[in-house]
Copies of this chain bind each other. A is one copy, B any other.
């Protein structure tokens, strides 16, 4: 079927060794011979099989990318960054998604390992407690986490805790006091938990009482009644929502529109991720922006450095700067002065609104 080096050799009238040299070390073969071999290669449309080569222990130039989902642009934006550098540097990308399921994460890593990828870029559910990552540390391949914010492992991320704090402080500066955090599924994401911790920190700094994050069903067309109850419960209702990511923020805003709450007049919204589409919304979505493509590119560079022999410790908890996009979804509100009475709030307390 596909021509092999033998076919080329026969066609050109030389040995397979000469053909191999013509391909891999052209300067070592007689120009006339070289020309004939090249002619044969073209005539047969020969492409050296990577398998023969890799069997000899050559590099695969193959990198595995493991993402939770392609439905959230935050990951495809990262993937774009990765793809840019991979293409430029002649690497191939093998892509797998996990839907945040541990079993699929496991299977993806197994599959990619079996393919002999030279390295792995991945976003996992929970970086610190993940047994698979210990396995990767021990048995390879080399990897870099992306968007998992941990000091324990090679990773590229923003400082989720600090970024969330800043965002919430900004809300507070705009006069908000009753600020609620919404998350897709806290248990599914270390990032969501870190962001909630940042939220809690900022709240306490201002003498406010943080509330537990409210979990939202991403896929539902409408907000659940229990959620709506939280958002619309009279004078003590929150005036601002901090959403653990932009996609969630957009889903929530749709839900609010359906019950005729206006953003930002009736409710301010702050997202997290800085999705490109957020800027295209009307009003533009306020967000704590992570530089997603840069994170992808940086993860690639850290991985290449590791492959080049750099020690893992050099890449532990690599942090990129975040920025605040103060979009139109946040309204300033006039408010009673800060209630400094609530000094009993301690770190670790997560109490509901009174």
Contact = CB atoms under 8 A, between A and B. Distances in A.
Interface of A: 2, 45, 47-52, 54-55, 69-71, 73, 76-77, 79-80, 83, 87, 92-97, 104, 110-111, 113-116, 139, 250-251, 253-254, 257, 263, 276-277, 279-282
A139 B253 contact: no
Copies in the complex: 2
B280 A139 contact: no
B93 A95 contact: yes
Contacts of A253: 280, 282
A92 B95 CA distance: 8
A206 B282 CA distance: 33
A74 to B, nearest CB: 12
16 contacts: A47-B114, A49-B55, A49-B114, A49-B116, A50-B51, A50-B116, A69-B80, A73-B73, A92-B96, A93-B94, A93-B95, A94-B95, A254-B279, A254-B280, A263-B282, A281-B282
A88 to B, nearest CB: 11
A55 B115 CA distance: 14
A70 B279 CA distance: 18
Contacts of A94: 92-95
A251 B279 CA distance: 9
Contacts of A70: 76-77, 79-80, 83
Contacts of A76: 70, 73, 76
Contacts of A45: 139
A257 B282 contact: yes
A55 B56 CA distance: 12
Nearest to A110: B47
A116 B51 contact: yes
Contacts of A282: 253-254, 257, 263, 281-282
Contact of A277 (B113, B114, B116, B277): B277
Given A73-B76, A87-B104, A250-B277, 4 more contacts: A49-B55, A51-B54, A71-B276, A76-B76
Contacts of A114: 47-50
A79 B24 CA distance: 35
A281 B250 CA distance: 8
Given A93-B94, A280-B253, A113 B73 contact: no
Contacts of A277: 73, 250, 277
A313 to B, nearest CB: 22
A47 B117 CA distance: 13
A279 B77 CA distance: 20
